[in-house]
Amino acid sequence: MKKTILHEDHIRLGAKMVEFAGYDMPIRYTSITEEHLAVRQKAGIFDVSHMGEIYVIGKEATELVDFLFTNNVRSMTAKQVLYGMMCYENGGVVDDLLVYKYNDQHYLLVVNASNVEKDYAWIRSQNRFDAEVINKSEAISEVALQGPLAESMLQKATETNLSELTFFTFDEITVFGYPCLVSRTGYTGEDGFEIYGEHEAIRSIFNRLLEENDALLPCGLGCRDTLRFEVALPLYGNELSPEITPVEAGLNFAISFDKSDFIGLPVLRQQKDQKPTRRIVGLELLGKGILRHGYEVYHEDQNVGVITTGYIAPSTNESVALALIDKPYDKKHQELEVAIRNKRVKVKVRNKKFYDKKYHK
């Protein structure tokens, strides 16, 4: 199993470790709820060094990235970050990712850990442009500093004025003297930063931020999932997959339908115009229990969908889920049933935003 540069630190901090995407990663240090609430109320720091970093560099870098990416790359300004997907011809998702634009000939694509090899092969297979594709995932570490106190904590470690680093932009700055790429992005619904750098730099930054900030908790993958779930951010493998399109997942905001071309565009455009036959909605359990990924959803005897992620939301204590539901059973207040073990329990369709995002815009 692979280890990140912070592996020894996780053990020293008492983390429970699990295998994730081929890495031995911390699932929690204390409890998922405590770490979750720390990020909502103060700040948490995550080791996300397992994420993939793929560079696209060359004269036609813009053309290649624009051809692969659902969102509008040509409208990006330098030092902007954009969220979107790479799709197959049939509209299914290769991966969801962040695109970082340095300039017209230089992009960084940050992809899911479990998809690095697949994405790298996919991008290269579609590369009929004058551009080079370089997988730097093994050379780069990353931490995410998230929560309402993130800015004040990071500000003490850099001379750059962070209030000027706005939502979904990045800059190359120094943190505790180490050169890093820092973006105002995250996967928690809170304000925060993602910090990329060389292994030892990231290790020093992680440990110094923890030493110098009593209110900062190390946070594991357990609360990373509950945090993104509460604000309805999709997870590849749950809400997104080769079998689910971004239109069905409710991600039209990350698709530029008026672009002239990108892989999957005709199918996505057709789905948008004719309305998809199913979509991701929120469900609320009307009774006791917890809805889990993979549980089937029924209307009377008819299977009308499946739970993609479910938890007792730590911020609200509600037993809720994201689910992929067939039309016309996707309307708000629709009552349905979910099979939990051998029992059927009642659920109700509701807004999937279980908690309001609090970004710095």
Partner 1 sequence: MNIPKDLYYTESHEWVRVEDGVAYVGITDYAQDSLGEIVFIELPEENDQLTQFSEFAAIESVKAASDLNAPLSGVVLAINEELEDNPELLNEDPYENWIIKIEIEDDTEINKLLNAEEYANVCE
**Binding flag, residue 312, partner 1 (CB under 8 A):** yes
Q: How far is the CB of 311 from partner 1 (least distance, A)?
A: 7
Judged by beta carbon, residue 33 or residue 207, the one nearer partner 1 is: 33
CA distance 197 to 281: 37
Q: Which residues pair with 309 in a beta bridge?
A: 322
Q: Which of 19, 31, 139, 335 contacts partner 1 by CB under 8 A?
A: 31
Binding segment (CB under 8 A) for partner 1, from list 55-63, 227-235, 301-309, 310-318: 310-318
Residue at token pair 């004040």: 152
DSSP helix/strand/coil, 40: helix
**Binding flag, residue 292, partner 1 (CB under 8 A):** yes
Read off the DSSP letter of residue 130.
S
Judged by beta carbon, residue 62 or residue 226, the one nearer partner 1 is: 226
Q: How far is CA 141 from the centre of its chain?
A: 17
| Number of residues near partner 1 (by CB under 8 A) | 16
Binding segment (CB under 8 A) for partner 1, from list 7-15, 25-33, 139-147, 153-161: 25-33
**Binding flag, residue 289, partner 1 (CB under 8 A):** yes
Judged by beta carbon, residue 71 or residue 315, the one nearer partner 1 is: 315
**Binding flag, residue 296, partner 1 (CB under 8 A):** no
CA distance 328 to 225: 29
φ and ψ at residue 82, rounded to 5 degrees: -135, 135
**Binding flag, residue 16, partner 1 (CB under 8 A):** yes
Q: Which of 7, 10, 28, 203 contacts partner 1 by CB under 8 A?
A: 28
CA distance 113 to 48: 9
Helix/strand/coil (H, E, C) string of 145-192?
EECCCHHHHHHCCCCCCHHHCCCCEEEEEEECCEEEEEECCCCCCECE
Distances (CA, A) of 183 to 142, 170, 196, 263, 357: 11, 4, 9, 27, 17
Q: How far is the CB of 237 from partner 1 (least distance, A)?
A: 15
**Binding flag, residue 21, partner 1 (CB under 8 A):** no
**Binding flag, residue 237, partner 1 (CB under 8 A):** no
Distances (CA, A) of 9 to 14, 25, 26, 203: 9, 11, 10, 9
Q: How far is the CB of 111 from partner 1 (least distance, A)?
A: 24
Distances (CA, A) of 7 to 1, 39, 76, 206: 12, 21, 36, 12
Q: Which of 170, 178, 311, 354 contacts partner 1 by CB under 8 A?
A: 311
Judged by beta carbon, residue 33 or residue 72, the one nearer partner 1 is: 33
* Residues 243-282, interacting with partner 1 (CB under 8 A): none
**Binding flag, residue 32, partner 1 (CB under 8 A):** yes
Could you give the angle at the alpha carbon of 360 between the alpha carbons of 357 and 361, nearest 5°? 105
**Binding flag, residue 344, partner 1 (CB under 8 A):** no
Q: Which of 226, 256, 308, 309 contacts partner 1 by CB under 8 A?
A: 226
Judged by beta carbon, residue 92 or residue 310, the one nearer partner 1 is: 310
CA distance 231 to 182: 23
Q: Which of 56, 314, 322, 323 contacts partner 1 by CB under 8 A?
A: 314
**Binding flag, residue 290, partner 1 (CB under 8 A):** yes
- Residue ranges binding partner 1 (CB under 8 A): 16, 27-28, 31-33, 222, 226, 288-290, 292, 311-312, 314, 341
